[in-house]
Chains A and B, each alone.
Chain A
């Protein structure tokens, strides 16, 4: 059963306004730490989106400020990043929300006979 958005108990979707790049980065980091180049490659593979390096670093800084990811000690010149526990929780809430919207959209398409 889907959790109602209006029941007051559903966690707040902090990722709603951070932008697609940030969400894709969190999804990419969900299975383990990655550095910038690996993130760009992984996101290209999983979503078909090619993040520009400027967009990548902007999103990484924003996510780090929000405490959703951590920078690990530099490996050579590259900083790997990992998702934090609040980051994983925020991603879960956001994906649940997307799932609800997606299900509603599909249902309406069916009802509309389109």
Chain B
């Protein structure tokens, strides 16, 4: 039946594309070394009845590990850097949100402007610029929008 045959062909093409996409996630050096063999291995495993999704997933996880594995003489790769930056941004955003909400709630509920402060470190901190003539103080109730 032509329709069924067409469906099988498109299914096979989709499977091949899935595995190829996963293999494209590896670094170029890895693909030069293992790419052809890995594609052939995937074809053999699919022929044996292994679900293509699990093969693609395995390659995808392998690609992530490959990018994140430090190699001698290789600096942290661009993708690893991007992942770290993304993770850092999420963490910072979550931290800002978490600290802002209770502070706002406290100001709204109490109606007072009580701010608890602690003195800063005695050593200069690169990210903290002291205003001339003012003591360096770090506010521990973040999000209230004022310095001490």
Contacts and interface: CB of A to CB of B under 8 A. Distances in A.
Interface in B9-32: 30
Contact of B40 (A56, A61, A78): A78
Contacts of B60: 54
Query: What's the dominant secondary structure at chain B's contact region?
Result: helix
A8 interface: no
A4 interface: no
B41 interface: yes
Nearest to B50: A50
Query: What's the dominant secondary structure at chain A's contact region?
Result: helix
Contacts of A52: 54-55, 57-59, 61-62
Counting contact residues on chain A (CB < 8 A from B), the size range is: 10 to 19
Contact of A78 (B30, B37, B58): B37
Given A36-B37, A77-B40, A78-B37, A53 B65 contact: no
A58 interface: yes
Contacts of A36: 37-38, 41
B62 A54 contact: yes
Contact of A54 (B36, B37, B44, B59): B59
Interface of B: 30, 34, 36-38, 40-42, 44-45, 50, 54-55, 57-63, 65-66
